[in-house]
């Protein structure tokens, strides 16, 4: 096997303290409407498809410059760039797989992410179920990357926070819940609670190193 590893990160709630859709809407002055949609989705009142059907019109006229500004102003958890840099310096790989729009997620490549994946919806474009990234896609993309890099599942760590990460966490042996939901806590190898992703990354490195006495870590 290659002497390297793959680190797979969720974005919303893991690297980003909130949701990309809400942060973008906040920057565009449509926060209240976006927040109502987000809360309805969290409560299970609307489907993923209905979520985007209602959210996309809020961004109809957004420019690339406005997306850049919203990305820069978003509430990122501390230490993201530093963790990506450390992974890269070790000759390892960073992938970010999110259900949020890829036009937002891909901007993490400028911070050191090697691969980014997201829903392929675009501002002002159509809403179609085939454009949405699903839980199964997270598994399929991760397995595809492992095959591409010549790695085994034991040479990968996944970091996530919510139900969107459950299938991936069930599939991989090394998983770190980050400020995670109760459902994901039951599936995570270890959990991290705190405001700096470097703490979660430290647990991921211990998993890769074969540590057997891990416990929850909180800042």
CB-facing half-sphere around the CA of 130: CA atoms within 13 A = 1
* Bigger pLDDT: 207 vs 215: 207
Q: Residue 148 belongs to a domain with what CATH number? A: 3.40.50.1000
| Alpha-carbon span 146 to 174, nearest angstrom | 14
Q: Residue 26 belongs to a domain with what CATH number? A: 1.10.150
- Residue 1 falls within a domain, yes or no? no
- Residue 141 falls within a domain, yes or no? yes
- Residue 181 falls within a domain, yes or no? yes
pLDDT at position 1: 44
- Residue 164 falls within a domain, yes or no? yes
112 shares its domain with 42:
no
Q: Who contacts 151 (Cβ-Cβ below 8 Å, separation ≥6)?
A: 1, 2, 4, 5, 6
Q: Which of 72, 99, 114 marks a domain boundary? A: 72
Residue 180, CA distances (Å) to 158, 199, 218 in order:
13, 14, 12
Six-digit token string for 40: 């309805």
26 shares its domain with 107:
no
12 shares its domain with 82:
yes
- Residue 162 falls within a domain, yes or no? yes
- Residue 114 falls within a domain, yes or no? yes
Mean of per-residue pLDDT scores for the chain: 92
pLDDT at position 215: 54
pLDDT tens by residue, 128-139: 889 999 999 999
56 shares its domain with 107:
no
pLDDT at position 3: 85
Number of domains in the chain: 2
pLDDT at position 218: 47
84 shares its domain with 121:
yes
Find out whether 113 and 96 touch, Cβ atoms under 8 Å: yes
46 shares its domain with 11:
no
39 shares its domain with 80:
no
Q: For residue 32, report the phi and psi dihedrals to the nearest 5 degrees.
A: -60, -45
Look at residue 126 and tell me whether its pLDDT is greater than 90.
Answer: no
pLDDT at position 78: 98
Find out whether 103 and 21 touch, Cβ atoms under 8 Å: no
pLDDT at position 61: 85
| Pick from 205, 26, 3, 15: nearest CA to 116 | 15
107 shares its domain with 207:
yes
pLDDT tens by residue, 21-58: 889 988 889 989 988 998 998 888 998 889 999 998 88
152 shares its domain with 171:
yes
Handedness of CA 143, 146, 152, 153 (dihedral sign): negative
| Alpha-carbon span 126 to 130, nearest angstrom | 11
176 shares its domain with 137:
yes
pLDDT at position 214: 59
pLDDT at position 69: 95
Handedness of CA 148, 154, 159, 165 (dihedral sign): positive
| Alpha-carbon span 217 to 194, nearest angstrom | 8
Find out whether 145 and 94 touch, Cβ atoms under 8 Å: no
85 shares its domain with 50:
no
Q: Who contacts 114 (Cβ-Cβ below 8 Å, separation ≥6)?
A: 88, 93, 94, 95
The reply to whether the predicted model has a pTM over 0.85 is yes
56 shares its domain with 95:
no
Residues in the chain: 219
- Domain of 63 in residue numbering reads as 20-72
Find out whether 20 and 59 touch, Cβ atoms under 8 Å: no
């Amino acid at each position: 096997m290659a002497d390297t590893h793959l680190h797979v990160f969720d974005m919303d709630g893991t690297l980003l303290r909130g949701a990309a859709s809400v942060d973008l809407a906040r920057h565009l002055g449509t926060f209240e409407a976006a927040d109502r949609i987000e809360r309805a989705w969290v409560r299970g009142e609307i489907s993923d498809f209905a979520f985007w059907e209602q959210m996309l019109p809020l961004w109809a006229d957004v420019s690339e410059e406005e997306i850049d500004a919203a990305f820069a102003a978003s509430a990122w958890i501390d230490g993201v760039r530093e963790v990506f840099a450390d992974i890269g310096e070790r000759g390892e790989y960073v992938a970010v797989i999110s259900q949020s729009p890829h036009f937002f997620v891909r901007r993490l490549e400028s911070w050191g992410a090697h691969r980014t994946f997201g829903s392929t919806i675009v501002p002002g474009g159509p809403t179609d179920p085939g454009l949405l990234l699903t839980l199964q896609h997270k598994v399929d993309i991760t397995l595809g990357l492992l095959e591409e890099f010549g790695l085994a599942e034991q040479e990968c760590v996944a970091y996530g926070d919510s139900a969107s990460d459950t299938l991936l966490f069930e599939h991989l042996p090394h998983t770190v819940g980050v400020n995670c939901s109760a459902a994901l806590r039951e599936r995570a190898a270890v959990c991290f609670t705190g405001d700096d992703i470097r703490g979660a990354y430290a647990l991921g490195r211990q998993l890769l190193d074969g540590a057997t006495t891990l416990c929850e870590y909180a800042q």
